[in-house]
Each structure stands twice: as C-alpha cells, then as structure tokens.
C-alpha cells in the first residue's frame, strides 16, 4: 500500500470536493506515506438540477455513477454524504468508514430578517426538502415554501437576490465550506429534526479490497456509525425515500441511545412522531434493529398508498 496510489471518487460540487479533500487530508495524517488521486464524477443528480429529486429517481442519483467507478475499478474508495446513500447498496460494496459526524442541525439563512420567528407573514422560504417544509410549516403555517435545488452557492445567491426571504441548509455543509457565518439562525432539533445521517459521511469501497478497508478503518468513528445506523433503521422500517417527509436523530446519553423521529404523509398532513431510549447498541446491526422498532411504531396509523 505504501508504494501504490489510491484513487478516491467524489462528486464535483464545491461541498463534495471540500468534504472529500478534508477526509483525505486526515487520512494522510494517519498514513504519512499515502499517495492519492482524485476522480471527479458528475452524477445524474447533479446534471438534472431543474427537476425535483423525487421526479427523477431520488437521492440515489447522487451515488450511482460513483459506485460504478468503484465497481469498474476506476476508483478505490468514494466519499459520500451519508444522507445521500440508498438503503440498498450493491452487494460487492461496503461502507468501510463512517468518520466523526459534523453538526447535524439545519440552519436558516435569512439576510434581511434573521430568525424564523422574525420572517414576515407569508414569507417565501426556499427548500426542496419535504422534511424541512413540513417542519417549518408546523411552526409557521403561513410560510410559502419555494422549491429550490442547486449547490450551496446557487441557493445562497437566490436568497441574496431576493428570490426568496430565507433558505434552509444543513449546518454541516456550511461548516465544511467555511461559510458558517452565512447562517442567521441554527434551528433547534425540536424545530427541524435532521434527515437520517445528516452531517455524517460514508466512505465506500469494494468489499474484497482488504488493504483499503484496513486503511480507511483508522478514521472510523464507532459512536457516529451506531447513531447513524439507528437513524437508517427508522428509514428502513418506514420505506422512506426523498418523497417522504421523515426526520430521525440518534445521540448517546450516558449508556443509552436516545432516538427521535417523525414521519408525515407525502402531502405533509398526517404526522406521527416518537422517541425511544435504548441501551447503547452492541454494534451497528443492533442499532438498526432499534431504529426499526421506532420506525415500526411510527408506521402505525399512517396512511399507506
């Protein structure tokens, strides 16, 4: 491994490049002789910015072409945002590393108003996330939700130009871009529960590549991986996708796992939320089972297509 060059695959967006390069920098810190090359991949999710994700296949469109690069051995590992990862992965690929999580909360960017409560009646708030739209309307039913996609810079320009009064972004993305000062309010978990895996990365490689798996494992953060596994367990139980308003967040509380989640129907009308405390999971599989327990509870009395 010391004499070889490892190629990592990443999306071409500024945020994807920033988080990939930061991870690879940390990897070099623990493997001083490591040499890497970067493979930038334009995914279907990046190409079709003018359409809602739900209409073109969901968040998996940010992952497929990158996984193809792994399967075709054009790349040795890939850096993904965990919340973009589909529940089902190709059988020959594995998530070999989940690094320590960044702040999972959402933020409001409202240059002229500052906070959610200060937004004027009928203010226009930009987001393409049904989860965020449902959470905002629960606090402010008067808000007009405007569907906005695009990279972080694109969305920031739109709010600066006055296309909308505010936008909602993941704080983790702004932190990784060094732009956290653009946020005007950090939304509490009670106001906007994050998407499963928000703020976490998934480092994927081929399952049969033992040297790369061993190298990546040095940056694996078990507590983050277990928390994210519990959140994704909720997702599995509910069969959630980008057309389902769904939030889930797990955190350690002493020897316990605290898991909160909500789900709404696609219209955002029917709503169910829940919270559970579990003994800290023995492993990720145990965490997924706990997440599924809460997800199964939430699925009760929800309308089904």
Q: Is 231 helix (H, G, I), strand (E, B) or coil?
A: helix
For residue 203, the tally of other CB atoms under 10 A from its CB is 26
* CA atoms of 105 and 194, how far apart (whole Å): 6
Considering Cα of 157, then 162, then 164, then 169, what sign does the dihedral take?
A: positive
Residue 84: active-site member: yes
Catalytically annotated residue among 46, 76, 84, 103 = 84
Give the dihedral of Cα atoms 241, 243, 244, 248; nearest 10 deg: 50
The DSSP secondary structure of 234-303, one letter per residue, reads HHHHHT--TTS-EEEEEEEETTEEEEEEEEE-TTS-SEEEEEEEEEPPSSHHHHHHHHHHHHHHHHTT--
Q: What are the residue numbers of the active site?
A: 84
């Amino acid at each position: 491994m010391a004499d070889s060059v490892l190629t990592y695959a990443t999306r071409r967006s500024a945020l994807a490049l920033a988080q990939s390069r930061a991870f690879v920098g940390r990897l070099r810190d623990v493997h001083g002789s490591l040499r890497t090359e970067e493979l930038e991949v334009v995914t279907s999710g990046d190409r079709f910015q003018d359409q809602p994700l739900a209409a073109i296949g969901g968040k998996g469109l940010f992952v497929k072409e990158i996984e193809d690069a792994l399967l075709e051995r054009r790349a040795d590992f890939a850096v993904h945002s965990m919340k973009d990862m589909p529940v089902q992965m190709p059988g020959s690929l594995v998530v070999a590393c989940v690094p320590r999580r960044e702040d999972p909360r959402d933020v409001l960017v409202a240059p002229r108003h500052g906070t959610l409560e200060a937004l004027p009646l009928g203010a226009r708030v930009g987001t393409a996330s049904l989860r965020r739209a449902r959470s905002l309307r629960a606090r402010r039913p008067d808000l007009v939700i405007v569907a906005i996609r695009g990279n972080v810079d694109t969305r920031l320009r739109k709010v600066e130009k006055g296309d909308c009064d505010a936008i909602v972004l993941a704080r983790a993305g702004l932190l990784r871009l060094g732009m956290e000062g653009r946020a005007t309010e950090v939304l509490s978990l009670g106001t906007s529960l994050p998407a499963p895996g928000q703020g976490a990365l998934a480092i994927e490689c081929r399952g049969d590549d033992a040297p790369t798996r061993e190298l990546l494992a040095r940056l694996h953060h078990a507590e983050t991986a277990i928390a994210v596994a519990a959140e994704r367990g909720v997702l599995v139980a509910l069969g959630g996708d980008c057309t389902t308003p769904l939030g889930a967040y797990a955190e350690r509380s002493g020897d316990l796992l605290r898991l909160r989640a909500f789900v709404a129907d696609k219209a955002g009308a029917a709503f169910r939320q829940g919270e559970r405390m579990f003994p800290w999971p023995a492993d990720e599989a145990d965490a997924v089972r706990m997440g599924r327990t809460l997800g199964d509870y939430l699925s009760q009395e929800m309308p089904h297509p």
